[in-house]
Amino acid sequence: MKQYVSIFIIAIITGFLVFNGNNFAGDNTYLMTEVNPVSQQGTVGFLLQTDKTYSNGKGQDNFGQFLLEIPGLAGCYMQRSDFSVNIYFLWSGKDRFARCFDIQFEDFPGPATYFFQFTWDSAKGLFEGYMNGNPLRYPGIRFEPWRVDGQATQTKLSSGPNKITKVEVLSRYMKKEEVVKRVPKELLGKGSKLLGRCDSAVPIDLSKRRGKLLYASKMNNKASVHDWILEGPGEIRFKNDKMTMRSKTPNPPTRGTGHFNFWCPKDFPESFIAEWEYEPLKNHGFSIVFFAAKGVKDKDIFDSSLPKRDGTFKHYTRGVINNYYISYYAHLPLYQTGRTYGNLRKNNTFYITSHGPIAIAPGVKGFHRLRLIKDGPHIQFLANDRICIDFTDPGSERYGPVLGDGKIGFRQMAVTEGAYRNFRVYHLRRDIK
């Protein structure tokens, strides 16, 4: 994903968007001077007025707008691609993705108004963001202290179709209490569903629909997963009636390497209930479940005619197998840190089709009961009986045909270490009303 974003941002910087840096509205506030620059501490806030709804998938042209720039320090960007609609806050320089904000949507409604705020104190490892006062990271998340490269005494605004007004740039960190007070009253708290709220979903009633057991593994010893298939540098161990997985290269020298997939060998029907328990064993990590995985032209994903896979992400998201996947633990050290939402993506197009509250929050200990239900086109994912994803694939041109039967697999990124137990899959009977 990062390589596509990098290409896009380079295109922005090299000139297809126009900057209108000297035309500041009278209600903008810039409390920074040559002797008081924005650098190791700072706060940026602005109103974003969108001209229309931006949606991912097929049906709209790619779009990008450089919203706001603090030259030599950081910038805010908006991007629409088939993958997702993104709002970024990125630092300048080669480490732009470290400690950044990458807010992802399948739909970003408009015409509408949003109030974004970003505030940091690098010496204390603090960097928070807010949309309409809603936090963009879990509260209390800290980084290792770092040094912001560069300092700035001016700000530039874009003149694109999405308008930026009421800009405030301060040379100090701002606590949440003060942040919230600055949010326009009519916007405070709005848009929480865009950041992962899923309050209106109703659990699928399984009382009369749980069918026969299709597969079961206690995941408690080597024999329990003897025919599972590992792709990538994973290390599988067993202790205390659980299976643990970690990468053989948890700190890979090359970005994008060190990740792996572990596949159940059985094909499951288009409607099923899958249940397992998962515990993150380290603070940082990123864990995913793939399902309905099948090769193009209806081939088995392990068909010898398909290219070999080694855990590299693009093999599963932009390759020759189709699947859905859900990210249920997302807390990487410097990117997507403390993410509040999990995504349901559809491959091999990498489209975000839905998102909801992340299943496992950073720092929460112990095993979590996870349940994935695929009722034909209706997908529901729950953690400890709380709905995290609820989506019905329309099978429309926007996202392509509904995916049916296929395999289930677990993925961990290189920094992740997780424990698993009690994997079971049941047939889901038709709902007779």
d(CA 185, CA 38): 27
Instruction: Write down the pLDDT at residue 27.
Output: 58
The answer to whether residues 320 and 314 touch, using CB atoms and an 8 Å cutoff, is no
Q: Give the list of residues 6+ apart from residue 413 with CB closer than 8 angstroms, or none.
A: 247, 258, 259, 285, 286, 287, 332
d(CA 287, CA 388): 15
DSSP helix/strand/coil, 398: coil
pTM: 0.92
DSSP helix/strand/coil, 294: strand
The answer to whether residues 360 and 288 touch, using CB atoms and an 8 Å cutoff, is no
Q: State residue 277 phi and psi, 5-degree precision.
A: -120, 140
d(CA 151, CA 147): 11
Predicted confidence pLDDT, tens digits, the chain (433 residues)? 454 455 444 444 333 332 223 333 345 666 666 767 899 999 999 999 999 999 999 999 999 999 999 988 999 999 999 999 999 999 998 888 899 999 999 999 999 999 999 999 999 999 999 999 999 999 889 999 999 988 888 888 988 999 999 999 999 999 999 999 999 999 999 999 898 877 788 999 999 999 999 999 999 999 999 999 999 999 999 999 999 999 999 988 788 899 999 999 999 999 999 999 999 999 999 999 999 999 999 999 999 999 999 999 999 999 999 999 999 999 999 999 999 999 999 999 999 999 999 999 999 999 999 999 999 999 999 999 999 999 999 999 999 999 999 999 999 999 999 999 999 999 999 987 6
Q: Give the list of residues 6+ apart from residue 73 with CB closer than 8 angstroms, or none.
A: 38, 39, 42, 91, 92, 148, 149, 150, 151, 152
The answer to whether residues 406 and 292 touch, using CB atoms and an 8 Å cutoff, is yes
How many Å separate Cα 30 from the centre of its chain? Answer: 32
Q: How many of the other CB atoms lie within 10 Å of CB of 11? A: 13
Instruction: Write down the pLDDT at residue 256.
Output: 85
- The partner residues of 326 in beta bridges, in order of sequence, read 289, 344
Inter-CA distances, 180 with 45, 116, 359, Å: 11, 11, 26
The secondary structure of residue 333, as a DSSP letter, is: S
In the numeric block, the tokens 């997302």 are attached to 330
The answer to whether residues 235 and 245 touch, using CB atoms and an 8 Å cutoff, is yes
In the numeric block, the tokens 């400690």 are attached to 99
Q: Which structural domains are found in the chain, ordered by start?
A: 2-192 (2.60.120), 210-428 (2.60.120.200)
Instruction: Write down the pLDDT at residue 7.
Output: 40
The answer to whether residues 228 and 265 touch, using CB atoms and an 8 Å cutoff, is yes
Torsion of CA 319, 321, 325, 327, to 10 degrees: -40
29-73 pLDDT, tens digit per residue, is 666 667 678 999 999 999 999 999 999 999 999 999 999 999 889
DSSP helix/strand/coil, 283: coil
The answer to whether residues 70 and 155 touch, using CB atoms and an 8 Å cutoff, is yes
